Every structure is written in C-alpha cells, then in structure tokens.
C-alpha cells in the first residue's frame, strides 16, 4: 500500500481532536460518592465570563464546564453597608479578628448588639445554585472562582467539582460566605479543590440530606488575616450537619485552621464520616468536634501540630487507638483499619465500634506513615 498523504492528514487531525475531546474529569470518585458521573461525556464548554459560567452551572443540561482562567464575581452584585456585630471572640489586638454580618440573625440571636458598621461584597454571601449533572473542572492551576461559592441544593445532584480554587468570600466577616454548600442533594464529588480566604465555612452540609459525598485530594487553606481565634488561623473550616449523609474524606490537606476541621453532627441519622489518609497540619485549636448523631471512623490519617485533635466528651468515634484495635475492622470491613499518626498533637482516642459495618465505602487505606508525602504531592489544585 502506498503512502496516502491526505489520509495521513485526516488521521493526525483525528488524533489531535482526540486529545482535545479528552478534556474532562480525571478518574472516578473513590468512597461513598463512587457512582457520581457529573456531566458525563457532554462536550466541554469554556465559559467566556462570569455570566456564562453562572448560566452553564444553573441551566438544566448536563455539562462539562472547563475553567482555564479566573472568574471574578467581586463587585458583580454590588456592595452592602449595614450594621453588624462584634462577637466575644473578637478580642484581637489591632485589627486581626472577625466581625460578623447579621447572617441568619446571628448577631441578634447571640445577643451581640448591632453596633458596628460592616461593608461586604454581596456576591460572596450566596453561592451559585448549581443544578444536576455538572462537571466543573479546571485546567492546570488556572481555574479560579473569586468572590462566590457553589451551592448544590433543592434536589440537584450528581455533580463533580475538580481542580478548582474558590477564594475570597468576604474573609473579614463571619457569615461572609461559604465556599461549597450541600443541602438536599446526592452524589457529590469534590476533588483537588482548594478553598482559601472564606468568611464562613469552607465546606458545609446540612440540614437536609446530602446523602453520598466524597471529598478527596482537596486543600482547606485556613490562613487568614481575619481570624476568629486572633492567630491567623480560620475557625469555620468544615461542617457536616445533614441527615442520612455518608461522607468519605480521603487524601485531603487541612492546614492552618483553628476549629471545626470538621465539626460532625446532624439531625436524625446524622452523618457517617469515613476520614481516611488525610493530613492535618498546624491547627491551633481543634480538628474534630463530633456531636450528636455523628459516627466517625478516622484511620490512616496524619496529624502534625494539631493542638486538640478531638474535643472531649464525644464518643461516636473509632480512631483505631492501637494495633490490637486495628483488627476490630476485620469482621465489619473485611480488612484491618490503619492506625493514625501524630506529631506534636493532642490525644485522639475513640473506641466506639458498633457502626463500623456502615463505613464500607470501598476505600483501601495506605499506612499513615506514607500520608504526609502523598498528600503534599497530590492535594490541592494543579496536581492532576
């Protein structure tokens, strides 16, 4: 057969088209949200501006939405100046604390007088109301959403958020905004996402069911100049407060926070949390706050410079406290659990085992001794 130049051109064109259409979600969700498909194989769309990004996220079509630049929502909905309050926590010398917007009537309910002026960006307060069947993915480390979060609610489900950085939601104010909110949803995969400079929660579920959620390879960066604990660390990091929720947290990097990292609770059957192979570093307050209706298996994690790993008096935790207890998992999960590892951190002991059978999410943990290197190499944006 002789060489056919036009066939050659067609073939190489097909090959290059092949690599273009290969833009999409990388991998599949580990853990409880394994069945998440997001926008599936819909052709990728590249929003030209914030208006188009919001339109793609909020319409009724399945979509693969690709971000290769920053989308800045700051100023897009105007500014608000009104009365807010100064909570007791803000006793910071100079100006390094967090004052509060009267979100959810918080100032009034907490009996803090509406005595100070607050001025904030309106776009940060409410997240973009994302609909079902969406994949939102970033290219390299270029996919940034500034000044507005994402809210998956009201029955919207099957959403993948991968390799995106969400930042600058009125970080100076409590109630300034949440980066990712889940309420009344199912099948959500948050992967290689970074959140930084957030006013309120970096990730929150509640109060209605969020069902199956996986948060993997993500970075919760708590560094802030407006710390509710007056020390450059963000207090309101992660709140799991739904009902019937099953959450896998795998391979995440949670650093420079000072509280609620995470707070786990909820109503009714609350939250089941499998926290595995995560790295907590430089937490000046507490990591886990496990309250009513929560059940937590924490294994194979690494804690470095975490002052209080667990608020006391909270029982529904299995922390794999010793080599013998690692075997307790075998009958429930068909494998032993991995011990956690600690450097300059507080005690982390939970011996509740009754719920281990509900923690079957298919994840096979690595040993905690490998976690710091693995998480630092993989967690956050620009690392897939």
Please list the active-site residues.
260
Least Å distance, CB 317 to ligand NAG, is 24
Residue 69 or 307: the one with the smaller Cβ distance to ligand NAG is 307
What are the strands of the beta sheet with 159-162, ordered from one edge?
44-45, 63-67, 134-138, 159-162, 188-191, 212-216, 245-250, 271-276, 295-299, 317-318
Residue 218 sits in the site that holds ligand NAG (CB under 6 A) = no
Q: Which of 134, 255, 286, 295 binds ligand NAG (CB under 6 A)?
A: 255
Residue 60 or 323: the one with the smaller Cβ distance to ligand NAG is 60
Residue 163 or 196: the one with the smaller Cβ distance to ligand NAG is 196
- Annotate each residue in 76-105 with x if it binds ligand NAG (CB under 6 A) or - if it does not, as one string: ------------------------------
Residue 71 or 235: the one with the smaller Cβ distance to ligand NAG is 235
Window contacting ligand NAG (CB under 6 A); options: 43-51, 106-114, 141-149, 279-287: 279-287
Residue 223 sits in the site that holds ligand NAG (CB under 6 A) = yes
Residue in 260, 224, 216 with CA at minimum distance from that of residue 241: 260
Q: Which of 214, 284, 293, 340 binds ligand NAG (CB under 6 A)?
A: 284
Least Å distance, CB 319 to ligand NAG, is 22
Residue 281 sits in the site that holds ligand NAG (CB under 6 A) = yes
Total binding residues toward ligand NAG, as defined by CB under 6 A: 13
Residue 232 sits in the site that holds ligand NAG (CB under 6 A) = yes
Residue 58 or 108: the one with the smaller Cβ distance to ligand NAG is 58
Q: Which of 6, 19, 20, 60 binds ligand NAG (CB under 6 A)?
A: 60
320: left (phi over 0), alpha (psi -120 to 50) or beta: left
Q: Which of 132, 216, 261, 278 binds ligand NAG (CB under 6 A)?
A: 132
Least Å distance, CB 106 to ligand NAG, is 27
Which residues from 286-305 bind ligand NAG, rule CB under 6 A? 305
What is the three-state SS of the chain?
Answer: CCCCHHHHHHHHHHHHHHHHHCCCCCCCCCHHHCCCCCCCCCCEECCCCHHHHHHHHHCCCCEEEEECCEEECCCCCCEEEEEEECCCCCCCCCCCCCEECCHHHHHHHCCCCCCEEEEEEHHHCCCEEECCCEEEEECCCCCEEECCCEEEECCCCCEEEECCEEEEECCCEECCCCCEEEECCCCEEEECCEEEEECCCCEEEECCCCCEEEEECCEEECECCCCCCCCCEECCCEEEECCCEEEEEECCEEECECCCCCEECCCCCCEEEEEECCEEEEEEEEEEEECCCCEEEEECCEEEEEEEEECCCCCCEECCCCHHHHCHHHHHHCCCCCCCEEECCCCCCCECCCCHHHHCCCCCCCCHHHHHHHHHHHCCCCCC
Residue 165 or 255: the one with the smaller Cβ distance to ligand NAG is 255
Least Å distance, CB 130 to ligand NAG, is 11
Residue 133 sits in the site that holds ligand NAG (CB under 6 A) = yes
Residue 227 sits in the site that holds ligand NAG (CB under 6 A) = no
- Annotate each residue in 299-338 with x if it binds ligand NAG (CB under 6 A) or - if it does not, as one string: ------x---------------------------------
Least Å distance, CB 202 to ligand NAG, is 15
Residue 282 sits in the site that holds ligand NAG (CB under 6 A) = yes
Residue 33 or 316: the one with the smaller Cβ distance to ligand NAG is 33
Instruction: Tell me the residue number closest to ligand NAG, measured at CB.
Output: 282
Residue 199 or 285: the one with the smaller Cβ distance to ligand NAG is 285
Where does this chain bind ligand NAG (CB under 6 A)? 60, 62, 132-133, 158, 223, 232, 255-256, 281-282, 284, 305
């Amino acid at each position: 057969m002789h060489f056919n130049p036009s066939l050659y051109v067609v073939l190489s064109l097909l090959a290059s088209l092949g690599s273009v259409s290969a833009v999409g979600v990388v991998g599949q969700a580990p853990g409880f949200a394994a069945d998440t498909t997001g926008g599936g194989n819909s052709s990728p769309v590249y929003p030209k501006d914030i208006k188009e990004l919001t339109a793609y996220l909020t319409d009724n079509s399945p979509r693969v939405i690709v971000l290769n630049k920053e989308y800045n929502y700051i100023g897009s909905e105007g500014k608000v100046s009104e009365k807010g309050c100064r909570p007791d926590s803000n006793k910071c010398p100079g100006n390094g604390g967090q004052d509060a917007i009267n979100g959810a009537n918080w100032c009034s309910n907490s009996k803090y007088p509406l005595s100070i002026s607050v001025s904030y960006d309106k776009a940060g307060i409410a997240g973009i109301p994302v609909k079902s069947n969406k994949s939102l993915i970033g290219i390299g480390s270029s996919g940034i959403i500034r000044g507005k979060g994402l809210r998956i609610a009201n029955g919207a489900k099957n959403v993948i958020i991968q390799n995106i950085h969400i930042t600058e939601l009125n970080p100076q104010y409590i109630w300034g905004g949440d980066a990712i909110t889940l309420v009344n949803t199912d099948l959500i995969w948050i992967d290689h996402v970074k959140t930084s400079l957030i006013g309120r929660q970096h990730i929150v579920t509640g109060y209605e069911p969020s069902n199956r959620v996986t948060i993997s390879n993500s970075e919760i960066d708590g560094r802030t100049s407006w710390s509710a604990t007056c020390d450059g660390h963000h207090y309101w990091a992660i709140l799991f407060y739904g009902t019937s929720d099953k959450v896998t947290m795998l391979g995440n990097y949670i650093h420079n926070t000072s509280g609620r990292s995470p707070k786990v609770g909820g109503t009714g059957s609350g939250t089941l949390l499998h926290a595995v192979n995560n790295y907590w570093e430089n937490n000046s307050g507490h990591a886990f706050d496990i309250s009513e209706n929560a059940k937590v298996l924490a294994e194979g994690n690494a804690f470095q410079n975490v002052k209080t790993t667990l608020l006391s008096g909270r029982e529904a935790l299995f922390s794999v406290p010793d080599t013998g207890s690692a075997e307790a998992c075998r009958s429930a999960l068909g494998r032993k659990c991995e011990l956690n590892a600690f450097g300059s951190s507080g005690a982390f002991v939970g011996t509740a085992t009754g719920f281990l059978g509900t923690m079957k999410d298919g994840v096979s943990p690595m040993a905690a001794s490998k976690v710091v290197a693995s998480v630092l190499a993989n967690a956050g944006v620009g690392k897939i």
